[in-house]
Structure 1
């Protein structure tokens, strides 16, 4: 059988043991690889570390990993390779039939990320051509019959089989609240404190929706920890995707002597990533999902209730060490009313980057491409229209040369890729590289828990702020960081996160090498001309444009969606600019723009007349 579906309970070893069994069974004897894809970077790195330890080798030898902007893999000696799904897609561009692999394992497919569905659709085509390749699809919670039918060519096709593996999971007692919790962040903090004060030794894992909520909860717990006089101290650690690798790895170390580890995490800790020592889980009942609005052509991060599958995954984290407890901050009736599974990302995401990648892989008719969950037609059409407006596709829907091909291969969104590619023409590639690298990291500015420390950091931050907005402020921060010789003391005095800036510098170095050597984009500087930089940014980010409505609020130029400036922006509480471009929309109580840049009124007509001419004229009347 060339296709195997493994439905394995939490703790069965599907992510760590199956690749080792395949290696020992001789699937790598001819020099080929066993490749394992993970939806998240931290899962790929930690699983590779775990398997390397079990095999008794150094990481990067027999066992390695490859994630965006980071490789620990030897093409000569490595035989087991963990990677993110995006890396596998990029490898397909160089080797469409994946001839260097003997087995591909798609892990945690129940998360149904955009790249998961793309990889499954591509693997279905590859397996028809490469008869030597084997595919294993694994998950703890997935509709196996549906996936078996997807990979089968007919009812009588016996090339796919389902294998169930029992997990090694201790019993977990689930506790619900009697009445709904009014503020789930405060609920998480108070529940963690009660567990710490009243229950036996054992680490705590609490789930929140995003980085800002995690940082707030860590800050609140830190205040209590400073006043804690008990024998068992609190060791509080955050965990989210944009956290630097060194900080992410802290949660996998055992708690210090005389301490209880409390990990505050996003849903990154739901699957694959097993944090040692966890006995208690606190589930807020919410997660953050990305939804795409086809009218305004904007992505939005929205806080929504978790699905039953996600809730069960969270509870399972408590039963890895010994019998555990899960405290759900919602009622039992609310759990029964949750959706059974989270909607696949393919059905709710902006698809321009996905279409670019498929086109680069030779899939000309993307509308007829077989996806496990077909995306909405409106999203496909919006993505095609956007790529045509960006210049990535021609009138026949083919990749343009060299712009479209270059955008497809750059490891960032289509809008950011366009900014990078055209930066050479504008003569500001040095500045755009710095800005795009800074956008790949978060938490550039420190947010101390104490009020006095927070005020000092805000005052220090003002030396970098400029009227043009957040992206040029980021550029100032990066330039000042480089001028200071990247010293930690300077970062601390300036209220900046030295680790985030170090990571941004590493990413920028890789990006510069990629666009200059592979795509021949000239590296040049505009020597401080903010007008040139903003025009170049507008050339790529023009679909994310907003104008100041006469009612005093901002609205998207397309779709007339009402927006506000996020409180973290340098433009918050400043005099309103007439025209803005932004990188992201965040929905909490209302829709907020993040990473904003001020542009001149006529810029949109200059850089994208085919996209905005009529709309701009209508708004000016």
Structure 2
């Protein structure tokens, strides 16, 4: 007997029930954002005889939580001892992958400017080494675009015969069609220079790469439970990451890895990357574990236990959101309703509250748009043009309303195209064109459409009635304030902003002009992407009593 069917994607989590053979049912789930253990609520793990967790070595927060519930793991791990000990001395089986020898070269001294060092190394390889593509690891889009621009500027100083370079950027928010360029061979006689974030460490294998340039840095998420701020900071990579990067040069033949730091510095690197569960907010984790009937969060069998402060802070946040009772049990109905969504708890609370404010349609759009990678595509060389285009969607009512306008414009465009043609390829091609013209990341937009569709189904199953505030943005803003009060910031006399919950001084994100934070994210200076508050006093009134008492006296 064989039966195949596919469940549609829910957010970034996909469950695929592939086939049933001789009474054996196989289910496949792709784990990404949001937290996927929530998919097991109402579907006990005990019904599975065998569970295999692939890519366990990546140590995402979702994987670590699941490993607290499971006892069978599969995955490439450069620190297999940690997994073996966690599972009571389980045997580790190593399967040797195909790997050609890679020469490792170090600098004599630390490099004070890794961007300049990367640039110099790229040209040294191009001029002195034999054929083969170059993979250079950088920390983010800004650095990639900077090196890309500098490479082309310096190419002009080389003889015509040495200008046979093709640069290709690679980072997660790059539109899908542009990411595919890394797999296409360079024109005859040209050398590809792939400028990539750590996405190229394990996620993809790029053909043709013979040389790797590794500055030894990565941009990683960190979390301060005291301030409640998450930050993207540049830190040294681990030994495991360094080995992964050098291995990229030996996939198809012998290669070379140029590490832009002394060999003595390699010995100082930590053995493996700090697990994500130790450097992120745990509110979603705590909510999902509570929904699974696990109330003793501090006593939960994590592979590597997060700090007590991080757990306590997350419990406090859930309590203020109304998801927990006075004795820290899941509240009924709010807590149980919030746990049904694989979303940040603040987003879940916003959806539930939006019925009261009669703006569920708008809030659903906002949550869908915020649950995906950045919706904007902003190439450095066309940044001013992009900003001009985005102004067509902007609103004096703030960034959230801008997201609603973008979503509705895209949905309206797709409806128009579908009326003209039923061919999926033509519809997809037209949408990509619309996104290019409006500097929108098409992959993120399509993902948000999927998230919107799936959460809408969930809301209907929960019996929530859909309503729209139409042009009454006051109600919409009040709902945002009542939901996001923990993230609110107030403008100070000197023009800076103070986070109401932590007292932290933050800055407005360069793409915004408003002031209620929906994603507390810091980069270099503390910055936040925001939405205008209609009335700061309403923010105080909307906050729970305990929060008002502690923060406002």
TM-score normalized by structure 2?
0.85
| C-alpha distance in structure 2 between counterparts of 1:67 and 1:197, whole Å | 49
| C-alpha distance in structure 1 between counterparts of 2:378 and 2:156, whole Å | 17
| C-alpha distance in structure 1 between counterparts of 2:99 and 2:56, whole Å | 20
Equivalent residue for 1:92, pick from 32, 40, 49: 40
Residue of structure 2 in register with 1:524 after alignment: 467
8 Å Cα contact 1:114/1:346 also seen in 2: yes
| C-alpha distance in structure 1 between counterparts of 2:7 and 2:466, whole Å | 33
Alignment of 1:163-562 (within 5 A): 163-218=93-148, 220-221=150-151, 229-230=160-161, 233-243=164-174, 245-255=176-186, 257-271=188-202, 273-450=204-381, 453-485=382-414, 487=431, 490-516=434-460, 518-562=461-505
8 Å Cα contact 1:65/1:83 also seen in 2: no
Residue of structure 1 in register with 2:549 after alignment: 614
Offset from partner CA, 1:396-452 (integer Å, 9 cap, x none): 2221233222322322211122212222222112111222222234453443443xx
- 1:98 CA displacement: 5.1
| C-alpha distance in structure 2 between counterparts of 1:291 and 1:469, whole Å | 27
| C-alpha distance in structure 2 between counterparts of 1:528 and 1:189, whole Å | 51
| C-alpha distance in structure 1 between counterparts of 2:212 and 2:287, whole Å | 40
Q: Which of 404-413 and 369-378 deviates more?
A: 404-413
Offset from partner CA, 1:532-578 (integer Å, 9 cap, x none): 222222222221122223343222223322211222x231xxxxx6x
Q: Which of 455-464 and 69-78 deviates more?
A: 69-78
8 Å Cα contact 1:580/1:599 also seen in 2: no
Residue of structure 2 in register with 1:142 after alignment: 79
Q: Which of 390-399 and 67-76 deviates more?
A: 67-76
| C-alpha distance in structure 1 between counterparts of 2:463 and 2:271, whole Å | 49
The answer to whether 1:121 aligns with 2:68 is yes
- 1:340 CA displacement: 2.3
| C-alpha distance in structure 1 between counterparts of 2:35 and 2:496, whole Å | 41
Gaps of 5+ in 1: 1-29, 33-59, 125-134, 153-157, 572-576
Pairwise CA RMSD: 3.3
8 Å Cα contact 1:544/1:556 also seen in 2: yes
Q: 1:64 to 1:552 in 2, by over 3 A?
A: closer
Q: 1:540 to 1:344 in 2, by over 3 A?
A: same
Q: 1:488 to 1:250 in 2, by over 3 A?
A: closer
- 1:199 CA displacement: 2.6
- 1:177 CA displacement: 2.7
| C-alpha distance in structure 2 between counterparts of 1:64 and 1:222, whole Å | 46
- 1:377 CA displacement: 0.9
Alignment of 1:20-31 (within 5 A): none
| C-alpha distance in structure 2 between counterparts of 1:454 and 1:492, whole Å | 13
| C-alpha distance in structure 2 between counterparts of 1:296 and 1:339, whole Å | 26
Q: Which of 294-303 and 269-278 deviates more?
A: 269-278
Offset from partner CA, 1:113-141 (integer Å, 9 cap, x none): 211211111114xxxxxxxxxx2343331
Residue of structure 1 in register with 2:528 after alignment: 593
Q: Which of 80-89 and 437-446 deviates more?
A: 80-89
Residue of structure 1 in register with 2:517 after alignment: 581
Q: Which of 484-493 and 173-182 deviates more?
A: 484-493
Residue of structure 1 in register with 2:423 after alignment: none
Q: Higher relative CO (CA 8 A, sep ≥ 6), structure 1 or 2?
A: 2
Counterpart of 2:356 in 1: which secondary structure? helix
Q: 1:586 to 1:170 in 2, by over 3 A?
A: same
8 Å Cα contact 2:80/2:92 also seen in 1: no
| C-alpha distance in structure 1 between counterparts of 2:550 and 2:329, whole Å | 27
- 1:257 CA displacement: 4.8
Residue of structure 2 in register with 1:26 after alignment: none
Q: 1:603 to 1:286 in 2, by over 3 A?
A: farther
| C-alpha distance in structure 1 between counterparts of 2:351 and 2:244, whole Å | 39
